[in-house]
Amino acid sequence: MAAVLRKMLGLSIALMVAAGIAGCADTTGEGAPYPNLATIKRLKDKVLSKEEQDAAIQDLSLEQENHRGKAIEAIEKR
């Protein structure tokens, strides 16, 4: 009897962990857009200069900050 209860407890814990992990998935479709193959091919043709790299990094950092701010606002609205 104790072995059956232990197995049931282990199974229920595993199911709760799986449900928690599934709840963390981005199902809204509002996640970070991934580059498609055409974008990658186009980027391969040109090598950025140091200044262009710095500008791109700065743009991405600003975009990340904006995204983080919007995410915080969305969480606080809940």
Residue 30 lies in a domain: no
26 has a pLDDT exceeding 70:
no
- Measured CA to CA, the distance from residue 75 to residue 77 in angstroms comes to 5
Token pair, residue 41, equals: 């091919």
Q: Which two tokens stand for residue 43?
A: 């980027």
Number of domains forming the structure of the chain: 1
In a domain, 49, yes or no: yes
Q: What residue numbers bound the domain in which 53 lies?
A: 37-78
Say what the pTM is.
0.40
In a domain, 48, yes or no: yes
* Phi, psi dihedrals of residue 20, rounded to the nearest 5°: -65, -40
Digit-coded pLDDT (tens) for 50-73: 898 889 889 999 999 999 999 999
Q: How far is it, in rounded angstroms, from Cα 12 to Cα 6?
A: 10
Round the average pLDDT of the chain to a whole number and report it. 77
Question: Residue 11 corresponds to which tokens in the numbers above?
Answer: 């199974």
What mean pLDDT is predicted for residues 35-40?
57
Region 13-22 average pLDDT: 77
